[in-house]
Amino acid sequence: MSAEPTRPVVLAVLDDSERSALLKLSLVARGWEVVRAHSCEQARTRAKEQPIDALLTDLILADGSAFGVLRALPSKPRVTLVLTWGNQHGIKERIASAGFDVHLVRPISAEEIDKALREKLEAA
């Protein structure tokens, strides 16, 4: 009997609880283990509790930003992805210079998020 393969762990930091729950269901169905957080503080706590392979976060959160989340993690995940609602002037450059691997603009499907995370995870 062989052991079940390990599912990659993604920390999803989204301050909209309903959107977060729907995204979790979609990513779990695609083979991810999803750890949810709704704030920068919760993200720090969750990342200390268990190792994560990927970070998926909104750019703006009620208590900070994706930049603060990334800086506060105990170690940088293998893949980091940030979601925004637009392509504001200079945002792509700021996101890249902060150390994020992927920037996706909403509206976006769970399938597209899964694809982006997996592509970067396989390349990492």
Residue 14, domain extent? 9-123
On whether residue 4 sits in a domain, the answer given is no
Q: With beta carbons less than 8 A apart as the criterion, state whether 47 and 74 touch.
A: yes
- Residue 54, beta-bridge partner list: 10, 79
CA distances from 1 to 5, 8, 86 (A): 12, 21, 49
Instruction: Count how many domains the chain has.
Output: 1
Q: For residues 117 and 109, what is the distance between their CA atoms, to the nearest angstrom?
A: 13
Per-residue pLDDT tens digits for 11-57: 999 999 999 999 999 999 999 999 999 999 999 999 999 999 999 99
pLDDT for position 107:
92
pLDDT one-digit tens code per residue, 73-124: 999 999 999 999 887 888 999 999 999 999 999 999 999 999 999 999 999 8
Instruction: Assign residue 94 the CATH number of its domain.
Output: 3.40.50.2300
**Residue 24 pLDDT:** 97
Residue 1 lies in a domain: no
pLDDT at 103: 95
Residue 4 pLDDT class (50, 70, 90 cuts)? low
